[in-house]
Amino acid sequence: MTIIKKFDTSEYQENSWRKSKYWIPFGALLVSLTLAEIWANNTMVTYGERFETMSRIQNTLQMENQLLENEIAKQTALSNVASESAAFGFSKSESIQYIR
């Protein structure tokens, strides 16, 4: 006796739906992950530009700070203070008097 199974279209359609219903969430997940990756890359590029700008500003401020420190050191040098005090009429005292 030979068993012959008939091709049932309703069973085939049921099985194909079961197989295809997993593709929809997978596709949605794939699209959402792609969008998340694009968003992350754009965010990183924006932060990279901001970081570059901040780094440039930091270097400029460090140079300016160094120039100002050099100018302060030049103005407070002992030889400069002595010549400025002489220009204002200050001189070395001859006799120091102490008050008790």
Nearest alpha-carbon partner for 19 in 8, 7, 30, 11:
11
How large is the greatest C-alpha to C-alpha distance in the chain, in angstroms? 140
81: its two tokens? 């203070």
Would you write out the chain's pLDDT as a tens digit for each of its 100 residues?
Answer: 566 666 656 555 555 656 667 788 889 999 999 999 999 999 998 998 999 999 999 999 999 999 999 999 999 998 888 888 888 888 877 888 888 8
Task: Output the pTM of the full model.
Answer: 0.50
- Predicted local distance difference test score (pLDDT) of residue 95: 81
